[in-house]
């Protein structure tokens, strides 16, 4: 994606004084880039490619589940698809997409020339393609991919074939990339803000990424520990998770979910940041309760470390522990509710317009809130014991991940595309993309709540006849949703190649008012000058 230099770029953001003499072009520009914009662009394209790969895996799953019986793939391959669909979507699609946003926007929003460590920035991107190669290549290892579920639970993962080793190696590389990216973001935000840009004046997107980066630095090593212990169990005769050797398979679950629950918020919190920029712009109002948003986000991050075992109610923990984890999980709903209230209050009596970014942001608000409610349902121990490992859980986390993270990523891309490319996207096609995505998403996942309540277990290639109708509806929705994303690809390419030139202020009126100088700066005013409160 050629980032076209336009009037929209405030100031020259390239590192080094010799750039004027020999600026790398062609392949060199991308391979050796230390420019935060180019690296952000590569992250976004990479995440879209992985989104397509993970999406194809999802369509394999839904094809098999279109009707009962074994039709299309062998059960082992089906299990492999569920495993790698999850891993690729989480580590290959959603996380790199938001790191792409961070690279593009953070330096511009705080008035910095670039990221703090431009070369480390380059390295943290170029670790991703080899990891992707390993994850996709694991399907072709002897014995096929590792069909152990994306959580890689022992003892299954300690006994799986060679694909498991490739998967563990891929996770290590992805973790290294995440940690380096996070160190870069933290250093940039703490040390490189323009004069006058106090922490409590940063745009909400910067705050969410500061908090997310701390989460990543804290939990990625925990995941690395879990998969390393699995690796030594597999090859070096340790017995961490082997009961016969004095180990405990449930220990794996504790270590994994101590990473896994904060990971949910690592994905959701940058999404909150994007939505917190989009909604004020199209409401023509400052974000309601800026300080409370910052504190709510920080408290969500801290609480996310205290609730890990709510994924494990059925693993045989003492009833006192179940009670604690239930209360702690319900408590997380409070700061999340504060954020939803603030977004709604921002729109309240605002001068609203409904361009594509705003449509996706409102879609996020509705569906993420629904996903939050089903999460509250699952936090209640006796209810979860019934619904554990059913399609109700699948529906719940897809409402959080797809309607939450993915919809907000779409909102951000449509919102900042004029700034990134200097061209306007096709508004009519953007709205069609939104409505197709919204309808097909709900068609796919809403019915899965009913399947789960009726008792259909997840991760199975075959099912009882009573689940046939809802599964057929879900599969049709999945194909509709998947093909709708090709329209999105077309819109982006059309924008880059032949879009109309973007005006200085693409969202007419969205940043021309007095409120651009309040603590939550509008995304389109000059990023280089810090906002001044009049």
Q: How far is CA 84 from CA 50, 81, 92, 423, 527, in A?
A: 11, 5, 10, 36, 40
Strands (E), 410-468: 423-424
Query: What are the two backbone dihedrals, phi and then psi, of residue 11, each rounded to the nearest 5 degrees?
Result: 85, 165
Catalytic residue among 47, 80, 83, 177: 177
Catalytic residue among 36, 172, 310, 419: 310
Catalytic residue among 261, 396, 423, 433: 261
Active site (annotated) includes residue 150 = yes
Instruction: Flag whether 296 is in a domain.
Output: yes
Catalytic residue among 104, 265, 290, 308: 265
Catalytic residue among 339, 388, 419, 433: 339
Judged on CB neighbours under 10 Å (0-12, 13-18, 19+), 84 is: buried
> What angle is formed at CA 156 by the lines to CA 152 and CA 161, rounded to 5 degrees?
90
Instruction: Flag whether 205 is in a domain.
Output: yes
Active site (annotated) includes residue 295 = no
Active site (annotated) includes residue 515 = no
Q: How far is CA 23 from CA 17, 20, 171, 298, 434, in A?
A: 11, 6, 34, 41, 39
Instruction: Flag whether 350 is in a domain.
Output: yes
Q: Find how far residue 429's CA is from the centre of its chain.
A: 24
Active site (annotated) includes residue 119 = no
Per-residue pLDDT in tens (0 to 9) along the chain, 534 residues: 444 444 444 444 444 444 444 677 788 888 888 999 999 999 999 999 999 999 999 999 999 999 999 989 999 999 999 999 999 999 999 999 999 999 999 999 999 999 999 999 999 999 999 999 999 999 999 988 889 999 999 999 998 889 999 999 999 999 999 999 999 999 999 999 999 999 999 999 999 999 999 999 999 999 999 999 999 999 999 999 999 999 999 999 999 999 999 999 999 999 999 999 999 999 999 999 999 999 999 999 999 999 999 999 999 999 999 999 999 999 999 999 999 999 999 999 988 999 999 999 999 999 999 999 999 999 999 999 999 999 999 999 999 999 999 999 999 999 999 999 999 999 999 999 999 999 999 999 999 999 999 999 999 999 999 999 999 999 999 999 999 999 999 999 999 999 889 888 888 655 433 333 334 444 444 344 444 444
Catalytic residue among 150, 209, 392, 416: 150
Helix (H) or strand (E) holding 500: strand 500-501
Instruction: Flag whether 14 is in a domain.
Output: no
How far apart CA 80 and CA 150 sit, in angstroms, is: 9
Residue 509 confidence (pLDDT): 56
Active site (annotated) includes residue 177 = yes
Q: State how many domains the chain has.
A: 1
Q: What is the CATH number of the domain that holds 80?
A: 1.20.210.10
Active site (annotated) includes residue 419 = no
Active site (annotated) includes residue 458 = yes
Tokens describing residue 159: 């006994």
How far apart CA 392 and CA 382 sit, in angstroms, is: 15
Active site (annotated) includes residue 392 = no
Indicate the DSSP class of residue 390.
Answer: B
Judged on CB neighbours under 10 Å (0-12, 13-18, 19+), 424 is: middle
Q: Beta-carbon neighbour count of residue 466 at 10 Å?
A: 12
- Name which of 50, 71, 51, 68 is nearest 60 in CA terms: 71
Q: Give residue-wise pLDDT tens across range 269-308.
A: 999 999 999 999 999 999 999 999 999 999 999 999 999 9
Active site (annotated) includes residue 165 = no
Q: Tell me the helices (H) and strands (E) count for the chain, helix number first.
A: 18, 2
Residue 25 confidence (pLDDT): 78
Tokens describing residue 141: 């290892």
Active site (annotated) includes residue 517 = no
Instruction: Flag whether 290 is in a domain.
Output: yes
Residue 155: asked if its preceding bond is cis (omega within 30°), the reply is yes
Residue 22 confidence (pLDDT): 60
Catalytic residue among 33, 80, 124, 276: 276
Catalytic residue among 157, 178, 212, 304: 178
- Name which of 436, 433, 430 is nearest 478 in CA terms: 436
How far apart CA 450 and CA 463 sit, in angstroms, is: 14
Active site (annotated) includes residue 239 = no
Instruction: Flag whether 353 is in a domain.
Output: yes
Q: Are 458 and 391 in contact (CB under 8 A)?
A: yes
Tokens describing residue 266: 């690592």
Residue 503 confidence (pLDDT): 87
Task: State the residue range of the domain holding 396.
Answer: 35-236+247-516
Cα radius of gyration (the chain): 23
Active site (annotated) includes residue 261 = yes
Q: Are 377 and 424 in contact (CB under 8 A)?
A: no
Instruction: Flag whether 8 is in a domain.
Output: no
Instruction: Flag whether 493 is in a domain.
Output: yes
How far apart CA 497 and CA 437 sit, in angstroms, is: 24
Catalytic residue among 38, 165, 263, 511: 263
């Amino acid at each position: 994606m050629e980032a076209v230099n336009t009037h929209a770029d405030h100031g020259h953001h390239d590192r080094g004084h010799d750039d004027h003499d020999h600026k790398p072009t062609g392949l060199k520009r991308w391979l050796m880039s230390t420019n935060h914009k180019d690296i952000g662009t590569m992250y976004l394209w990479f995440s879209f490619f992985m989104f397509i790969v993970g999406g194809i895996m999802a369509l394999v799953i839904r094809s098999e589940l279109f009707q009962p019986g074994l039709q299309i793939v062998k059960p082992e391959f089906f299990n492999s698809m569920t495993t790698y669909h999850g891993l690729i979507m989480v580590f290959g699609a959603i996380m790199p997409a938001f790191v792409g946003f961070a690279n593009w926007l953070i330096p511009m929003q705080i008035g910095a020339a670039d990221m703090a460590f431009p070369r480390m920035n380059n390295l943290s991107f170029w670790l991703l393609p080899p990891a992707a190669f390993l994850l996709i290549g694991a399907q072709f290892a002897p014995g096929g991919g590792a069909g152990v579920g994306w959580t890689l639970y022992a003892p299954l993962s300690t006994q799986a074939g060679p694909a498991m080793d490739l998967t563990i190696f891929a996770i290590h590389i992805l973790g290294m990339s995440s940690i380096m990216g996070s160190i870069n973001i933290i250093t940039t935000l703490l040390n490189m803000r323009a004069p006058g840009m106090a922490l409590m004046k940063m745009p909400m997107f910067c705050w969410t990424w500061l908090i997310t980066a701390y989460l990543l630095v804290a939990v990625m090593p925990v995941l690395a520990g879990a998969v390393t212990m699995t690796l030594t169990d597999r090859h070096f005769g340790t017995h961490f998770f082997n009961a016969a050797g004095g180990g405990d398979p449930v220990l794996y679950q504790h270590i994994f979910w101590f990473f896994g629950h904060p990971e949910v918020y690592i994905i959701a919190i940058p999404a909150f940041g994007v939505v917190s920029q989009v909604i004020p712009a199209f409401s023509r109002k400052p974000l309601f309760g800026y300080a409370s948003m910052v504190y709510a986000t920080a408290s969500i991050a801290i609480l996310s470390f205290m609730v890990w075992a709510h994924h494990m109610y059925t693993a045989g923990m003492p009833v006192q522990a179940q009670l604690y984890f239930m209360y702690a999980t319900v408590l997380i709903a409070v700061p999340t509710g504060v954020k939803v209230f603030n977004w709604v209050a921002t729109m309240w009596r605002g001068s609203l317009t409904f361009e594509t970014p705003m449509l996706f942001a409102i879609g996020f608000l509705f569906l993420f809130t629904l996903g939050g409610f089903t999460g509250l349902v699952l936090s209640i121990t006796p209810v979860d014991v019934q619904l554990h490992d059913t399609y109700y859980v699948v529906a719940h986390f897809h409402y959080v991940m797809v309607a939450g993270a993915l919809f907000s990523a779409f909102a951000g891309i449509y919102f900042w595309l004029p700034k990134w490319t200097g061209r306007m996207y096709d508004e009519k096609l953007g709205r069609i993309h939104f409505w197709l995505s919204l309808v097909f998403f709900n068609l796919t996942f809403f019915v899965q709540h009913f399947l789960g309540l009726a008792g259909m277990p997840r991760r199975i290639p075959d099912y009882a006849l009573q689940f046939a109708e809802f599964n057929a509806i879900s599969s049709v929705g999945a194909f509709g949703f998947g093909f709708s994303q090709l329209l999105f690809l077309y819109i982006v390419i059309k924008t880059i190649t032949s879009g109309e030139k973007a005006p200085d202020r693409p969202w007419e009126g969205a940043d021309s008012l007095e409120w651009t100088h309040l603590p939550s700066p509008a995304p389109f005013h000059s990023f280089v000058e810090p906002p001044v409160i009049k």
